[in-house]
Structure 1
Amino acid sequence: MRRLVSRFILLAMAMMVARADAAPELRAFWADTWHAAMRTPAEVDAMLQAARTARANALFVEVRKRGDAYYISHYEPTAGDVASGFDPLAYLIQRAHNETPRIEVHAWLVMLPVWNSTTPPSNPAHPFNRFPQWLTLNDSGANFDGNNYSFDPGNPEAADFMYRVALDVLRHYDVDGVHFDYIRFAGDRWGYNPVSVSRFNAAYGRTGQPAYNDSVWSQWRRDQVTQLVRRIYASAVALKPWCKVTAATITWGNGPTSESAWFSTSAYSAVFQDWRAWTEEGILDIAIPMCYYNHANSTYRTYFNNWITWAKNHRYNRSVAIGLGAYMNTLSNTLAQIDLVRTPTAQGGYSDGVVFYSYAAPNVDGSGNIQWYNPTAYTTFGNYFGQWEPVPALPWKTSPTTGIVMGVALRGSDLQPLDRATVTLFRSGFSRSMRADGNGAFAFIDVPPGTYTLRVSASGLPVVNRTVAVSAGSVWRETVLAGTLGGVPLPIDDLIQQSDGLVVILPDVRVVAGNDRLGGSIYVEDGQTPTAIRVNTNPAVPWIEGDRVAVLGTLSTQGNERVIVPAAIRLVGVEAPSTHSLQLQVVWQQWLSGSVPVQVDVLRRDGALVKRYTFTPDDTGIVTWPRDGAIAPGWYDVRVKSSHWLSARLRDVFLPTTGAAEISLVNGDVDGDNEVTLYDFGLLVQAFGTMPGDALWNPNADLDGDGEVTLFDFGILVSSFGLSGE
């Protein structure tokens, strides 16, 4: 009885403190995948039901836990606890977006930790097993921090890999955002990957190993993390400007109460996560500081208040929401923390909402015991909020007034990244400069509209100036090759006419078929024509469709195909999967009715079947099929067969491409054997005079589609007698 009374009081409190001025507000849960959340459809359904009960409008779901994937990844293995054949993220998005109320889905990525046990993962494809050279080390040479093995963002290959992993989700799933976790070092003694140390020494003319508390070395590590965030943010805006880039950021200890106090926080000085600078620069849409403090403790209440005040006052031109440690608080204390989050600061700072950690552990009882998947907690939150509200609009996304300039700087002779090249964007009254990262990448955020000069300066190379035009909401991407080019730059159409042995360079081309489908080669297009050329390459991290690459190599002929054997290939950007298509106009000869299903075979020139499709054209006979990545670019024959028409073949079609072609089908193949013979004549005789519903009705004998078998159908058959399909 006492428990029932307590629950009644708690629910009454929740209803009393609910805001009267309901307005858009982020109300979300973090849903980790160490616990039940999205291993099966039933788990996803239960999570969504709980979220809707709580009047939540977003879920931050852990889709990369430790180098594994709760989605179909091009780079990492599927998590071992996912039901066979199940795509958790795809199912979640479908159910979250298509049912009412709509729930936003943010892909939560644990960024740098890649494994959490001293026993290696059993899957040889796991990145921990494949790339041990990317692990961060501490100043004593150890690579396990007691909790995790982590990749080091100061190693350009590791940073490039994490860039691709983050954007892989964005490119292939209709997520509402990508969410970073553990995008930091484990502590101030970490970051000693040999490649990062070597780069640091080269940059500052040093030798040996820097001390862990060396201020220049600390800033170097801080920069490596920030550069990764910046690169992902700019590319995310280019890919899907409406998607949100967010991060769960470190608090730890007492919150800063002055501007200078920020530089003593663990976030800034120990793990090198300068998230205050990220919001100021605009490379995060929403910072979500993890203010996990037990509200029953007066000291921690002070820490909590100081952190949320700091966060609300340092949102700059971006958004802040507060992460609440619901897993360590009673329901009444979590509600008290929400009240504090909703209260503006003395300076007018505010939060756009709350994110609960976690869906699995929404509260503790009075004795501090976690109440796993507690339905009372979800109901209490729902009663507190009162009614569902949408997430707040982000004006820099819905009504942008600035643009982005981004790109990659490479040495023209060998496509080596211009690590730490000085990149300056300027015009009269405006100038910004930055250092390119270890992959040569750079990005300027929130650039006012106008025409600018982009200048790249690197030691020993001539200065390169480019003119760029920025408009509101635009992303200008520039690939800069500095110095003498190592090959002849030619359009692909011209290149394939050249002699073998010519060294060529393609500064910025799109991968239209990748290693994930073709193994040891890719195909690239330059966008000037639909012609593609094969590039022989089989890297440890595959190239996939939509990658933008620079290629340097030697032209060759293998079989009847022109090929580039590369000396170097570099990632210069990413794009979404192609929506290009081939449009085929099918003409059914001597046919009065509507559209008929067709079988479309894509054949190699030797007749081998590559891919078979079945389509129902529209009423005009037009078939359109998307570039699905199943066909490597090249020249093919296309064969079309439909019901009682003979097959026809289009020869020498370049696929995949955007284009149009017409194919005409000859009528009269009643038995479907692809020739018109006496057997077809016999079937026509058998069905003569029948209509639909008659015992002997044969729809394939109704050659003209008028609903009866008559002399007109015999006339069609006679005109085609003796013919066979292609």
Structure 2
Amino acid sequence: MRRPTSRTIAALGGLALLPALALAAPATAGTTDVDQDRPEQWRGYWVDAFNPGIYDAEQVTALVADAEALGANALVVQVGRRFDCFCNDALYPRTDAWIDPAPYDPLAEVIEQAHAAGIEVHAWVNATTLWNSATPPRSPEHAFNAHGFAAEGEDRWLNKRVDGVEKVGNNSFVDPANPHVVDYIVDAVASITENYDVDGVNLDYIRYPDYNSGDFVNDWGYSEVSLARFAAETGRTDVPAPTDEQFSDWRRDQVSALVRKIYLGMYEVDPTDRLSINGITYAFGPASYGGWEGTRPYRNVMQDWKSWLDEGIVDTVTAMNYKREWMPAQAQMFDEWNDALVEYRAGRHVVNGPALYLNDVDSSVQQARDTLASGFDGWMGYSYANATMAATASGSQAVKDAERAALTAALRSDVFADDVAVPTMTWKTAATTGNVAGTVTLADGTVADQVDVVLHPVSGPGQKLVVRTDGSGWFGAVDLAPGRYRVQVVEEGAEGTASTFVTVEAGTVADVAVRAGTLG
């Protein structure tokens, strides 16, 4: 959410500036007595920016009216497609898409109209998709121009496949193992939550890319920076195969570290903001593959959202459970993922996201019934633009609008008859634990990449915890028992690692700076 601050986008240099923002009084859209009396259930649409919906104020008015008709309480609006923004005041440059010219600000317009209707707005950001056009973006500051194919070394942010490919068709991606990529994404998300009164951020493509040689292997992560950091971490001198388990675990850790850093960065700006991630549910669920670690999300795109729920570094998994109800095998997939998602909740929220665009009205109503019967915290349809497969097949906006209206009528007369309120994040609104974010710096001023840091409780009921720094020397820990902790580098070979102390308080992020002499 927006914070009163003098900080400008140009000053976005890292998380060090964020703690002061947490001192400002939180801005809220307001909760009415009516909301408090309603049962809790997330209900909303993904609103993609590749189709009409937010291109001008008139479209936004129609969007909000359609959401009200559904009884929706949340809109997940795509503002970051390819390192651009459907907004005017973020680190990401303003999009080149055919939207109304400035001063029109799509995100600000959606927030104003949706909040007036009592509907939450969550900024949907594609995390690792860099660009997908033969024509480069106009802004010289866009990451594709500044850190794409003309850049070298650590300034080249491109992900690379094992065969040397960096672009598939016109699609290029950033490498989450590059520390500069990570810090840019974290700062870009922070710029949105600081400058706009959003209710949360929804991360998509928070994973490694598709376009792989098989369904249970990922071929990406072979950039110069990635391989160098992996070698430094493991001591290996070979180029690992895509199937190498150690390399696969390391790549998953890079994505998890990015999620952790975004979560704590958002928490420092405004702890009431929700971080949701679009969880992949490719093919069948864990029941068909012997457990979570056999599934395609885990193996094929390196997205370990189950561990993110377990650790508490996401507030909500919005599952992209895109299955055709009218095909028996895919209906089984849908059911298997329903069971797994509810089982993996781990005290956070899980929201089911059926593919409206792949189903007819009756099938989508059935999947909505199954969603609520399974015990989810809510439902979010993909997508607002194409609410049925007939809408997807049609180029007529009138047909698309009519199909959406038909689905809305069917859902409201059945499973969505009652109005509902967005579920409360009790781990934030009534927090009993706190968090830590810190950095490790060496005596010569360089950051300490991939070193172990121990948080040892010296007072209070906390448990000893060992965390790992990222490529910027940053580390974070969540859901810690309040109390005083001793913080120290415990990496083998490290010298001059004096202890630092930090006090953890419920509902806050405690910042700490740790120094070490050398790493040996």
- Do the structures match in fold with TM over 0.5? yes
Inter-partner Cα distance in structure 1 for 2:336 and 2:169: 30
- Counterpart of 2:248? 218
Residues 462 and 259 of structure 1: CA distance in aligned 2, closer, same or farther (over 3 Å): farther
- Counterpart of 1:467? 501
Letter in 1 for 2:420: E
1:22, 1:389 within 8 Å by CA — same for their partners in 2? yes
Work out which of the residue numbers 87, 108, 115 in structure 2 matches 1:90.
108
Inter-partner Cα distance in structure 1 for 2:341 and 2:168: 29
Matched, 1:478 2:512: yes
Q: What per-residue deviation string (whole Å, max 9, x for no partner) do you get for residues 419-441 of structure 1?
A: 01111111267211121011111
1:40, 1:83 within 8 Å by CA — same for their partners in 2? yes
Map 1:224-303 → 2, pairs under 5 A? 224-257=254-287, 260-303=290-333
Inter-partner Cα distance in structure 2 for 1:82 and 1:208: 48
SS at match of 1:372: helix
Matched, 1:442 2:459: no
Matched, 1:151 2:168: no
- Counterpart of 2:84? 68
Inter-partner Cα distance in structure 1 for 2:68 and 2:392: 28
Inter-partner Cα distance in structure 1 for 2:417 and 2:90: 42
- Counterpart of 2:54? 38
TM-aligned CA deviation for residue 450 of structure 1 = 1.4
SS at match of 1:178: strand
- Counterpart of 1:105? 121
TM-aligned CA deviation for residue 292 of structure 1 = 0.5
TM-aligned CA deviation for residue 134 of structure 1 = 0.3
TM-aligned CA deviation for residue 260 of structure 1 = 4.4
Work out which of the residue numbers 137, 141, 159 in structure 2 matches 1:125.
141
2:90, 2:195 within 8 Å by CA — same for their partners in 1? no
2:73, 2:422 within 8 Å by CA — same for their partners in 1? yes
TM, length-normalised to structure 2: 0.84
Aligned-residue RMSD, C-alpha: 2.0
TM-aligned CA deviation for residue 303 of structure 1 = 0.5
TM-aligned CA deviation for residue 148 of structure 1 = 2.2
Letter in 1 for 2:85: A
SS at match of 1:207: coil
2:497, 2:515 within 8 Å by CA — same for their partners in 1? no
Map 1:208-607 → 2, pairs under 5 A? 208-257=238-287, 260-344=290-374, 350-365=375-390, 372-373=400-401, 374-384=404-414, 385-414=416-445, 416-427=446-457, 430-458=463-491, 459-483=493-517
SS at match of 2:291: helix
Letter in 2 for 1:468: V
Letter in 2 for 1:361: N
Work out which of the residue numbers 50, 55, 77 in structure 1 matches 2:71.
55
TM-aligned CA deviation for residue 272 of structure 1 = 0.5
Inter-partner Cα distance in structure 2 for 1:480 and 1:212: 35
Residues 404 and 258 of structure 1: CA distance in aligned 2, closer, same or farther (over 3 Å): farther
2:289, 2:295 within 8 Å by CA — same for their partners in 1? no
Inter-partner Cα distance in structure 1 for 2:436 and 2:219: 34
Inter-partner Cα distance in structure 2 for 1:272 and 1:342: 28
SS at match of 1:209: coil
- Counterpart of 1:687? none
Could you say which structure has the larger radius of gyration? 1
SS at match of 2:141: coil
1:279, 1:315 within 8 Å by CA — same for their partners in 2? yes
Letter in 1 for 2:433: T
2:259, 2:313 within 8 Å by CA — same for their partners in 1? yes
Residues 432 and 42 of structure 1: CA distance in aligned 2, closer, same or farther (over 3 Å): same
1:163, 1:231 within 8 Å by CA — same for their partners in 2? yes
- Counterpart of 2:6? none
1:54, 1:380 within 8 Å by CA — same for their partners in 2? no
1:145, 1:186 within 8 Å by CA — same for their partners in 2? no
2:391, 2:400 within 8 Å by CA — same for their partners in 1? no
The 10-residue stretch of structure 1 (68-77 or 25-34) with the greater mean CA deviation from structure 2: 68-77
1:321, 1:353 within 8 Å by CA — same for their partners in 2? yes
Point out where structure 2 has 5 or more consecutive residues left out of the alignment: 1-36, 149-155, 211-217
Inter-partner Cα distance in structure 2 for 1:168 and 1:315: 29
- Counterpart of 1:134? 157
Inter-partner Cα distance in structure 2 for 1:321 and 1:427: 35
Inter-partner Cα distance in structure 2 for 1:401 and 1:460: 34
Work out which of the residue numbers 166, 180, 191 in structure 2 matches 1:168.
191
TM-aligned CA deviation for residue 159 of structure 1 = 1.0
SS at match of 2:261: helix
1:33, 1:65 within 8 Å by CA — same for their partners in 2? yes
Inter-partner Cα distance in structure 1 for 2:370 and 2:353: 12
SS at match of 2:202: strand
Inter-partner Cα distance in structure 2 for 1:147 and 1:300: 30
TM-aligned CA deviation for residue 475 of structure 1 = 1.2
Inter-partner Cα distance in structure 2 for 1:243 and 1:305: 30
Matched, 1:29 2:59: no
TM-aligned CA deviation for residue 306 of structure 1 = 0.2
SS at match of 2:287: coil
TM-aligned CA deviation for residue 74 of structure 1 = 4.1
- Counterpart of 1:205? 235
Residues 203 and 106 of structure 1: CA distance in aligned 2, closer, same or farther (over 3 Å): same
Q: What per-residue deviation string (whole Å, max 9, x for no partner) do you get for residues 530-571 of structure 1?
A: xxxxxxxxxxxxxxxxxxxxxxxxxxxxxxxxxxxxxxxxxx
TM-aligned CA deviation for residue 470 of structure 1 = 1.4
Q: What per-residue deviation string (whole Å, max 9, x for no partner) do you get for residues 484-542 of structure 1?
A: 9xxxxxxxxxxxxxxxxxxxxxxxxxxxxxxxxxxxxxxxxxxxxxxxxxxxxxxxxxx
Inter-partner Cα distance in structure 2 for 1:225 and 1:105: 25
2:278, 2:317 within 8 Å by CA — same for their partners in 1? yes
TM-aligned CA deviation for residue 481 of structure 1 = 3.1
SS at match of 2:499: strand
Map 1:4-15 → 2, pairs under 5 A? none
Inter-partner Cα distance in structure 2 for 1:134 and 1:366: 37
SS at match of 1:257: helix
- Counterpart of 2:215? none
TM, length-normalised to structure 1: 0.61
TM-aligned CA deviation for residue 126 of structure 1 = 2.0
TM-aligned CA deviation for residue 467 of structure 1 = 1.4
Residues 430 and 260 of structure 1: CA distance in aligned 2, closer, same or farther (over 3 Å): farther
SS at match of 1:134: coil
TM-aligned CA deviation for residue 413 of structure 1 = 2.0
TM-aligned CA deviation for residue 240 of structure 1 = 0.6
Point out where structure 1 has 5 or more consecutive residues left out of the alignment: 1-20, 345-349, 485-726
Q: What per-residue deviation string (whole Å, max 9, x for no partner) do you get for residues 562-588 of structure 1?
A: xxxxxxxxxxxxxxxxxxxxxxxxxxx
Share of identical aligned residues, percent?
34
SS at match of 1:480: strand
- Counterpart of 1:15? none
Aligned length: 456
Residues 22 and 73 of structure 1: CA distance in aligned 2, closer, same or farther (over 3 Å): closer
